[in-house]
Copies of this chain bind each other. A is one copy, B any other.
Amino acid sequence: MLVNGDPGNLISIRDRGLLYGDGVFRTLRASQGHAAGWPLHFEKLRHDCAALGITCPDFNLLSSELETLLLSHPDGVVKLIVTRGSGERGYAPALTPPPPTRLWDISPTPVYPAEWAKLGIKARVCQLRLGHQPRLAGVKHLNRLENVLAAAESSDSGIGEGLLLDVEGHVIEGTRSNLFLVSGGELITPRLSACGVAGVQRDRVMDWAARHGMQVRVREVLLDELLMADEVFLVNSIIALWPIRELEQRRWTTFPVSHRIRQYLEGHNETQ
């Protein structure tokens, strides 16, 4: 673990990341000393810092810290947190901002049932509904209580992911993943202008579609439409892609498009 470039696992209790969730984060998969898609994650980090008005640390500085981390821990789930740093008491950020806090951590790669990637997962619909906040929508910030409450609803280890709807009943994402439908030869993914997190793998799926001449629609999606889709799948940087095989009364058994995209996500981690 690295705290502002030095080995350590502690931060100040006055850090705004703790006090207000005033920061952003990334989760990457590292394998054999290599963190998949790091440049893409950095672009997201820069975007998300800008959304909150946080000074984004320099790419070369972060890359060097990542390299240091991977020297001692070449495999696992890498987490990078950037917060607005410590400051005066009160919600308002300091007019002369302190340096942002940079935190790196690495954990063992989680082990999921091998069939989930190939045969699909059982998913559930979360009871919690995501609130709308356009100012924070799409940003992977540290205010994640909605995800915590949604994840806490079920402890059934046979369920791979919970799907989150918003207050208006639109399907938005998984608790820790982005969502796609395959329907009539098109890809459909929910619009994230009011809530949700726009992950790196979501962009990569859209890039894949553009290269393969497949239309992608980014729009509102209702649960009924999802249940009628030809395929439904979830993506993130740790799992790559899981098709859904079971949701409520619906069963899916074949995932031809999902598997093509999964092979792309798993096999082309660097060549975008």
Which residues of A are in contact with B by a Cβ distance under 8 Å? 1, 3, 9-22, 25, 52-53, 77, 79, 81, 89-93, 95, 103, 105, 107, 110, 128, 131-133, 135-136, 141-152, 155, 167, 175-176, 195
Contact = CB atoms under 8 A, between A and B. Distances in A.
B12 A144 contact: no
B105 A14 contact: yes
A52 B150 CA distance: 11
A141 B145 CA distance: 9
Contact of A12 (B10, B25, B146, B149): B10
A9 B11 CA distance: 8
A91 B150 contact: yes
A128 B141 CA distance: 17
18 contacts: A9-B12, A17-B18, A18-B18, A19-B25, A20-B142, A20-B145, A20-B148, A21-B143, A22-B145, A53-B152, A91-B144, A91-B148, A91-B150, A91-B175, A92-B155, A131-B133, A135-B149, A143-B143
Given A89-B107, A91-B151, A131-B133, 18 more contacts: A10-B11, A13-B81, A13-B103, A13-B105, A15-B18, A19-B25, A19-B144, A20-B142, A21-B21, A21-B143, A21-B144, A22-B148, A90-B151, A90-B176, A91-B152, A93-B151, A131-B132, A132-B132
Given A93-B148, A149-B135, A142 B77 contact: no
A175 B92 CA distance: 10
Contacts of A147: 20, 91
